[in-house]
Amino acid sequence: MSTIDYLASARRTFDIEISALQALKDSLGAAFTEAVQRLLACRGRVVVTGIGKSGHIGRKIAATFASTGTPAFFMHAAEALHGDLGMITADDLIIAISYSGTAQELITILNIAQRIDTPFIAITGHPQSELARNATVHLDVHVEKEACPLNLAPTASTTATLVLGDALAVACLQAKGFTEQDFARSHPGGALGRRLLTFVRDVMRQGQDLPIVPLGTLIPDALTEMSAKGMGMTIVVDAQNHPVGIFTDGDLRRIIAKEGNVRHISVETGMTRHPKHVAADDLATKAAALMDNLRINQLLVLDENGAVIGALHMHDLLAAKVI
């Protein structure tokens, strides 16, 4: 095959699968609505099961449910017949995936579900199959043809099933009022989780790590504090621990250029007054945005009385992977 033939094959696959999805979209109706209502009414967990390619799709669907506010897990259909059926209770709901609707493992699971009165949603491509006819709800994912030229390998049908699973999960998500914060709690290790769950208090420097000098400190002494704490600045405070300014590396360069000898000059002569600050309970992303907008590398953290309780450097946010 030439390069053009490869591209033609790819486009044919896209066309077939897009057509399958369009047909599935047009066929959605009362059964889909009932399936969502059953999912929302479930007091236990959603148990997704399947075997072969359907099992792979089912595993992803279960993961999508779990991460969007619908407790779910995947149960391999073969393992179910050797002990894993003990995972299922009457409070759960089963979603079984089999394009043919004849997978014997799933039919056995259906029989067990009926005995314990567990709702059973079947996703098949054959409405007259045993699985479809006996399920609590049947969702039809029939496709006219697979993208496989032999019309054998599950391609368009697995894509249709995957998208149908996404549609179920998203409908439940919207019905439950699932928010970004809810999503972050399910993904604390991901980028969104870090952005929505990391607060200034989690990453700020405080206590002995905080560079602080009182008013009247000579610049050489301030430099010692700056070098020891490694923030490229020191906070200048009054007797009430309220910040009156910060003295930075840039301030040092400017005052040297102006005065030359700075050994006997105090920090307030060259400090930056009215330093920018955030609260400890602010999201770290807010601090990052403020630094970016103002083109600064440090921020103070103040309590409700305006006293210094911490400080942030851009490097702290980078290390925490907030930005």
What average pLDDT does the segment 207-220 reach? 92
Same domain, 124 and 85: yes
Percentage of the chain beyond pLDDT 90 is 63
Into how many domains does the chain fold? 2
Q: Is residue 158 one of the residues assigned to a domain?
A: yes
pLDDT at 279 over 70: yes
Where among 178, 213, 247 does a domain terminate?
Answer: 178
Lowest mean pLDDT among 67-71, 125-129, 300-304, 316-320: 316-320
Same domain, 91 and 231: no
Quick one: pLDDT at residue 4?
Answer: 65
Q: pLDDT digit string (tens) for 33-89?
A: 999 999 999 999 999 999 999 999 999 999 999 988 899 999 999 898 887 888 899
Same domain, 60 and 22: yes
- By CB atoms closer than 10 A (0-12, 13-18, 19+), residue 238 is exposed
User: Is the distance from CB of 189 to CB of 70 less than 8 angstroms?
Assistant: no
Same domain, 28 and 128: yes
Q: Is residue 189 one of the residues assigned to a domain?
A: no
Where among 147, 178, 209 does a domain terminate?
Answer: 178
Quick one: pLDDT at residue 301?
Answer: 93
CATH number reported for the structural domain that contains residue 274 in this entry: 3.10.580.10
Q: pLDDT digit string (tens) for 219-261?
A: 999 999 999 998 989 999 998 889 999 999 888 999 999 888 8
Quick one: pLDDT at residue 11?
Answer: 92
Q: Is residue 124 one of the residues assigned to a domain?
A: yes
Cβ-based neighbours of 228, under 8 Å, separated by 6 or more: 211
Same domain, 143 and 222: no
Quick one: pLDDT at residue 194?
Answer: 62
| pTM value > 0.85 | no
What average pLDDT does the segment 131-145 reach? 96
User: Is the distance from CB of 169 to CB of 59 less than 8 angstroms?
Assistant: no
pLDDT at 184 over 80: no
Same domain, 159 and 213: no
Same domain, 164 and 251: no
Structural domain for 205, as ranges: 200-319
What average pLDDT does the segment 98-124 reach? 94
CATH number reported for the structural domain that contains residue 116 in this entry: 3.40.50.10490
Same domain, 39 and 119: yes
Same domain, 29 and 117: yes
What average pLDDT does the segment 5-32 reach? 95
What average pLDDT does the segment 91-116 reach? 94
Same domain, 154 and 242: no
Quick one: pLDDT at residue 82?
Answer: 84
Q: Which of 158-172, 174-188, 299-313 has the highest mean pLDDT?
A: 158-172
Q: Return mean pLDDT, the chain.
A: 90
Q: Is residue 168 one of the residues assigned to a domain?
A: yes
Where among 178, 209, 240 does a domain terminate?
Answer: 178
Q: Is residue 185 one of the residues assigned to a domain?
A: no
Q: Is residue 305 one of the residues assigned to a domain?
A: yes
Quick one: pLDDT at residue 121?
Answer: 97
- pLDDT category of residue 7 using cuts at 50, 70 and 90: confident
Q: Which of 134-143, 182-191, 311-320 has the highest mean pLDDT?
A: 134-143
